[in-house]
A and B are shown apart, each in its own frame.
Chain A
Amino acid sequence: MAPATPHTSPIDFERIFHPKRIAIVGVSQEGLGFGAGIFVSLRLIGFEGEIFLVNPKGGDLNGEPIHRSVEEIPRAIDFAIIAVAARAVPEVLEACRLKGAAGAEIFSSGFKELGTAEGIALEEEIVRVAARGIRVIGPNCFGIYCPRSGLTVLPGPDLSRETGPVAFSSQSGGMAVDFANAGKSVGLKFSKVVSFGNGCDLRETELLDYFRDDPETGLVAMYIEGIRDGDAFFESLRRTTARKPVIVNKGGLSAAGRRAVQSHTASMGGSREIWQSILRQANAVQVGDMGEMVQACLAFSLLPRRTYHNITVLGGGGALGVAAADLAESFGVQIPAFEPDLAGRIDELLPKPGSSPGNPVDVANPFVPPKTLKAIMRLAAGDPRIDLQIFTSLLHHYKNMAMLTGRPIKAVTPYLELADDIHEVAAETGKPIVVILSNPKSGPDHLDVVDMFVDARRAFIERGIPVFAELRDALRAIGHLNAYYERKS
């Protein structure tokens, strides 16, 4: 593979991620192909820049004139989106370069991924054009999502315009789109999401280098299948983690033993073992799947940057005490028992019988008023050992109260008050509170409960409170945070 073009100035990246004028080459008037699809998506998400459409047939799309060639575009452009047939890509890319574009994303497929001589030759041609001075995302990708500029991936008309700290780069386009959507659902805010597909020019290392210095990016998440240059990637990773967290999901890890080797060392050093060690050596956070990556990003972006070794767990749910202690230990977190005096004061607030004032605090009754929970959390935060509190909600039980009183579940569930109280206690004590919203009532009979949970989640997220679906997810994410900040020098 030819090397990437050696230098890209920050100004070029600024024009790639925040372009003022873009060209979409390869829009069809019939149907929603990639070109027309991205045009509509950009309009729907509210991209404010100028868009120039190109198709040799001309005409117009939703009232927007279609130019017959890139050369016909009347102004210089910053960025191009290319969705023409593979064979036409090199020429179009060169025309975009001559039109002043700093970069282009190429949705088209039909290149190296085919493994054919023609596909490989075409991709090499793209690399040669890129080396003349236009940076390329793709080919065979879904492009860039940047909430601040309004660029969006294909298909991403419904992504958020709220900018935030999370940058994500992904070889897989589907993964990029899913991550952007999953992130939106749980309250992650993105600086940039890049699906780079075949990654013939810009890919993992170049993007990591950019994200390291990007003031919009507070943490980097990556989905990696293969990498171009192990040494360069490792160096970039190490330098980046010294400044901000990097969370890596490496796909396609194989056990050792594929290669013909003679030593124990080589036979045990499969990609699984080596990647795990390399990521640890560079102090990157390794996650096993997208769910874990979303959760880790949530913890890294919402919790203050430090370690959390001693926590409280308050609330209810099956076998809370035992389960919580076991789980916490496996992620290197402690749930220290309260001193008798503190336990006594908490006990005075708890409903009887069935509650337990130690740590975890089992409130036993799901209808304990937020006011009481607030007082308990305030007392528990007074234990100087405690770094963070986890509240495990039992909101689904309000369905029973709704049925008994004949009122809608949203009217009887005090989630807004709870969100306000939790926010207040966390702010006043300086000890973050994480909320577990798990809903066992999620079937077709309980769509009102599901709906209420959506609102409750939003209420917490809007107040900056991290919400996880399961206690295990939260503890694992906190474990990642601890591992990173402990080893960051």
Chain B
Amino acid sequence: MTTSGQAAIRARRRARFTEVVREIASHPSALIGAGLLLLIVVLALLAPVLMPMDRLDVTKITAHGNESPSGGHWLGTDPSGRDVLGLLLWGSRASLLVGFSATAIAMVIGTVFGMAAGHFTGLTRAVVLRIIDFFLVVPSLVLAIVLSTVLSRGLSTIVIAIGVTSWAQTARVVRAQTLTIETRPYIERSRALGAGDRHIIGKHVLPAVMPLVMANTTLTVGSAIILESTLAFLGLGDPTTFSWGSMLKTALDTGAATAGYWWFVLAPGVAIVIVVLCFTLVGRALEAVLNPTLRSR
């Protein structure tokens, strides 16, 4: 590839990118979602600065258990006297980490399987489709529970369990898009030029399904965070790390809700809702921008 051709292509990509950014910016809900998300990510990264770990150390804290919100503890304390705001900050790290990395795994598997199921024919397609169907019909929560009990305990197990169980929908969507792309005459032209499977998938199919994958990503992140909370709530998470799910579990175990300690139940619950909502807002806007047929609806 030569410089002028490359430069021209780069300029076009840049122009397209700014266009997409401008389109997204024209959706106020997406801006709010993206802004909040950025804030939450920054807070999660700054957790060690804002709330040093030793302030959550049960042996060093002075506060009583189940204190209601006050100037000292904005969101009150948990049954062992730890600051709920601190737990929330530290818990966001695990929740976001699991959400992002599990989604990454799910997207890669989903895209690869989806494209394979759409591109190939005959036996390959039949086998790939049955695998997708298997993961589609097995309840992902049950499968995730099984996986996280079989594998060793830890955050990475949760990531794998969620990643492996939540790619099937993406694969189906990608397959549908692949099928429509494959019938386009430009695929035929490419074949007539001598292209093989790798070229067609890499140059024509992958770029065409990417927008869908991107939009799906943001939607999957939300459900991955919920799934992580669920697993932690069921006691299948890593007991040594805080996450919003494990906070809810502690709340359940200590009877916080029935005892009227609302701050300890509501805080992680609302946090989960906000993050998932933000991802959904951004995801919907992204979908509308990248898929022009959804515009003006």
- Are A and B a genuine interacting pair, yes or no? no
Chain B residues packing against A (C-beta within 8 Å): none
